[in-house]
Each structure stands twice: as C-alpha cells, then as structure tokens.
Amino acid sequence: MDSADFDALEKQARAAMPASSFAFALAGADDEITAQENALRWRALRLRPRVLAAPARIDTATTVLGRPALPIMVAPMGRHRLFHAEGELATARGAAAADAIFVVATNATVTLEDVAAQRSNAAQWFQLYLSDRAIAEGLIDRVAAAGFAAVVLTADMPVYGSAPRAARTPLVASPDIRNVNLPGAPIARNAYDTTFSGSVTYPVSVNDVAWLVRRSPLPVIVKGILRGDDAAQCVEAGAKAVIVSNHGGRHLDTAIATADALGEIVTAVGSKAEVYVDGGIRRGSDILKALALGARAVLVGRPVVWGLAVHGADGVRDVLTHLRGELARTMALCGVARIADATPDLVACIGRP
C-alpha cells in the first residue's frame, strides 16, 4: 500500500465485491454532503510543526480506558460477510495483527464468541443497538463472558436514514448471511431499504444510558455525539467515554462534520471521560490533528472495509499499519515524540474548503 490515500484501494474493493455490497458500504445519507465533508474538514485543518524539537524516537502508543493501545481503532460496521466470505473473523484477525481495537457490531454476521477467538492480545469492544432491554442484556452478558472490554452504545439512530445510493442498488437478502447474534438469526437485510425509511428503530434517552451503565459489567461508551451538552449528559449518566460521530454521514445529511464538532465536546467533557472520533479519517495527518484537538483515539470505517474486501485479514492489517506508519511520520515531521505531546497549538484552521 502506497502513501497516496485509499482511493486506489476503494476502486479495487468496488471490483472485488457485489455492486450492492459496495453501495451499502459507501452510501451516505441523501446528497451525501456530510459523508463527503467528514474527510474534507480534516483536510481543511493545517499543521503547525515544531521544527526545533528533533525527536530521536517516535512513540505512537497511548492508553484507552486505562489499557495500552494504538490510537487507531476499527469502527463498528455491520454485516461483514457482505464484503468478504470470512466476515468479522477476518476483520478481527487483521485488527489483532495490527494491535488495534475492533468494535464488533450488533449486526455482525459471525458469532461474538467466534470473533473473540481471533482477538490475540488486542482488545475488542461491542457496539450495541438498544431497543429491547432483554435482548440487550443477553448480548451484554455474552460479550462480558467472551472477554470483550467495553460496550459502545449507538445513540444517533432513532430512525433509519435515507441513502439513495444504497436504495438504487438494493441488497438481495441471502439466507446464508444472517445477523447471527440476534434472536432468530434474522437475514442481514439492507438497513437503507426504502421500506424502513422513517420507522422508529433505536431511540436512546439519557435514562437508557444510565440503565446500561448500571446493568453492564463493562465500561459504557456512547457513540454518535455531536454536541457538548449531549456529551456532558452521557458522562453525568456514567459513560466512561463518548465517540464524536455522525454515523459516517449515513443517516442525517448536512449534520456537522466530526472535525468541527470535536473541540466543543472535548471542552464539555474535560477530564471526566475520554473522547474518541470517527468520520473521514483517511491519513496519518488526520489522526494527529484529531489527537492534538483532544481525541484519545480515532476510529476508521470504510477503508477497513475496502481492505477486507480486497485482501481479507491481511487487507485489514495493511490499512491499519499503513495509517500507523503515516501517523509516526507526521509526528516526526511535527516534532511530536509522543501522543501526549500532541497539543491544540499544532493545528490551525484555514476555513471552509
């Protein structure tokens, strides 16, 4: 993998997977403005390097929830067997090979226990959609027993969004690809099927966050936060961290880009909880900007899917190690020896692209 970006890999992935699977992975909501701006807003930020620092050694390690970790994680995405025959098994192996945290989705197409068996020394988290509390309790107990390290509650999908790109190339439901961790193992349907549009799915209140914190034996993280006041409520309810996210621009178009939301949320949370961010991360320089602005780590979604589709577990590993290498090089060029040395003064904004 070269240092150009992931455009070439995306083209290879398009050729490697069914057109409907590619459209499902790539799709953003409506006009895909937010999906595109996520990446553009990271690129609109400029770095202010410390040229006299001359670090002799670059250390990209950090801690996440108190454990040593790479500041690059695999974002939760469902239905990996739509992209590769091994599905989440391959993703888990690739993440483990890169020492990266893998956030496994509720809508995984491989059992949680089988995914856990691929973990090696890397941590795994579980992403939860909360509707039926009895179903949620069963999932929470399973992931705790399987050694997962945290529960990530997705809070930004009270209804399904509209994704015309996915609707134009609809998935054909296959009885061989199922959401195997849910009761009845339902067939993995396209969440952007027009029949779902506007239906109430996973509404989350602050009371739900507080209930989950009480019920879960694992730390709770809330994903889908774009406002400081929402972040503060999550932390007050007991969440150990929040993920600044607009769901990859997949549900609410013209929502604020995550690069623009990050600063307000870091300020609102302060030292009470950790903050992570996803959405449009495509380069090591994006990662350093996010860390400098106060994120503890970033999550990467679509590029991991492209790597999975093209080369399976090796492709996932290569995407993550490529980003880690870019991060290390960017740190060296900016005079940043350790993640802790990445401070807000490294970043300047030049305005809208």
Q: Tokens 């300020």 correspond to what residue?
A: 267
As a dihedral over the C-alpha atoms of residue 307, residue 310, residue 314, residue 317, rounded to 10 degrees, the angle is 0
- Of 272, 295, 245, the closest CA to residue 72 belongs to 295
- Of 83, 97, 120, the closest CA to residue 105 belongs to 83
Query: Where would I find the beta strands (DSSP E) of the chain?
Result: 45-47, 62-64, 67-69, 72-74, 102-104, 124-128, 150-154, 220-225, 241-244, 274-277, 297-300, 347-349
Contact at 8 Å (CB) between 277 and 44? no
DSSP states along 49-68: --TT---S--B--EEETTEE
User: How is residue 181 written in tokens?
Assistant: 């961790």
Residue 352's pLDDT is what? 53
Residue 188's pLDDT is what? 78
Q: Is 247 a catalytic residue?
A: yes
Q: Provide the CA 62 distance to its chain's centre, in angstroms.
A: 17
pTM greater than the 0.85 cutoff: yes
pLDDT tens readout for residues 289-319: 999 999 999 999 999 999 999 999 999 999 9
pLDDT tens readout for residues 118-132: 999 999 999 999 988
Domain ranges of the chain: 7-349
**Partners of residue 153 on adjacent β-strands:** 128, 222
- Of 250, 335, 241, the closest CA to residue 294 belongs to 241
Query: Annotated catalytic residue: which of 84, 247, 311, 322?
Result: 247
Contacts of 79 (CB under 8 A, 6+ apart): 24, 87, 105, 107, 108, 109, 177, 179, 188
Q: CATH 3.20.20.70: does it fit domain 7-349?
A: yes
Q: Are strands 347-349 and 297-300 parallel, antiparallel or unpaired?
A: unpaired
Residue 199's pLDDT is what? 46
